Amino acid sequence: MPISRRTLLKSSAAATAALSLDWTRAQAQAETVRIGVIYDLTGPFAAGGSVACSIGAQIAIDLVNEKGGIGGKYKIAPVNADSQSKPDVAINESVRLIDQEKVDIINGVYASSHAVPLAAKVEQQKKILWITTAISTAVFKDKNLQYVFRGQIHSDQYGQAFASFINEHAKAKLGMEPKDVRIALVHEDGPYGVGVAAADEAYLKEFGGQVVLKEGYSASAPDLSVLITKLKRAKVDVISHAGYNPDITLLLRQARENGLKFKMLFGNGAGYSQLDKLRATFGADIDNFCNIDPVPAQLLDPSKLAPGVGDLTKTMVERYKQKTNATDVPPHCSMGFNQTWVLLNNVLPVAKEKYGGFDPEAIRKAALDVDIPAGGTIQGYGVKFYKPGTPMSGQNERSTPVVMQNAGEHISVVWPTNIQTQAPVFPLPKSSVYSS
């Protein structure tokens, strides 16, 4: 049966429309990069810094998208997941992101207890895990990971900063030789706490530091009074504590109730970086406590950073305050923002332009090309990843922490001395409820 010219034209038009629609869809997909973003949005880790990290990461994504996307061409479409402060949920969500959502990149991860198994899982799948926050050295140590990267500092550096501070200030501030300071290392018993305590001990040994008590506990423990008793019996001068928000609250409350006295307490990020949460519970009791962590970007002198970095920090701070109504911006916001910003601006454009795409192999190669000098990021440190075949393959070799001190309702940097914004108050003043 012959086909009329009108029917043929209709069929051609329909076919052309279908092809046009397919091309438009393909073009839209080609111009969008889907990235899995996983943080603890609920559960105890949420208030301990994970939500602040997620906000920082989203601000970085928003800023890049507002400028046209990666390289000004490819919009980022985040696929968000809540790990609920549970390792098994974190693993299940990462599997869902890879298998069902078909993402090649997972960005985020707050807790080291999640990061250790996630790194192994994502590495096995040959996808990219871009860790913004979790600090355990065990994530990378002797694993020779190829597809896992971390711009964040690692737990060994916490120990180095702690030991260096004690060694530099014990004589002048306490009137004691560093080796005579009685030190307690208290920690939750996951990879985060164990890693920090092990690093503390190792670096303290370098100058003969005296560890009189080293004690781990479950982060979900309902009672820490036995630990408080041990600390009192040990007559500690200085406590280094690695814990999350709920267990920090429990420890400090029971320490106050049981009359524990000391000359200084050093936190190690996590819940100690959520100053507004601690202050809401303890008020001025936490004044002058110290905390080791990557620096909140807004505390750095922008004149000592690369051009434009100070303005970027200012924008991040403004956006965070708009989203949260917070008066202070915690270090975790800078962590989430900084590492995500490096991924979106220093890695993915190179993956596309130099290595031909956004697939894991191209991203892996581009990440190993990153070479940001000191002062080139909002947190002050540079970025250069250890290469495969080295003991910390995938870890940023240029990351550095600082020692901060709660100066009333704000934070000051007290170590390293060359970038401090205030001289340390050490020991605690006699007005402190914990002062010995």
Residues in CB range of 360: below 8 A, 6 or more apart: 104, 105, 126, 127, 128, 147
> Mean of the per-residue pLDDT values for the chain?
91
Across 14-18, 194-198, 410-414, least confident range? 14-18
pTM for this model (two decimals): 0.82
Residue 341 sits at φ, ψ, to 5 deg, of -60, -45
Pairing of strands 410-415, 402-407: antiparallel
Across 11-15, 50-54, 376-380, least confident range? 11-15
Residue 208's pLDDT is 93
Residue 180's pLDDT is 96
Predicted confidence (pLDDT) at residue 242 exceeds the cutoff of 80: yes
Residue 271's pLDDT is 82
The domains located in the chain, with CATH, are 29-153+302-369 (3.40.50.2300), 156-293+402-419 (3.40.50.2300)
Residue 309's pLDDT is 96
Predicted confidence (pLDDT) at residue 304 exceeds the cutoff of 60: yes
Residue 68's pLDDT is 96
Q: What is the dihedral of CA 269, 215, 139, 337, to 10 degrees?
A: -10
How many percent of the chain have pLDDT more than 90?
Answer: 79
User: Which residue has better confidence, 417 or 41?
Assistant: 41
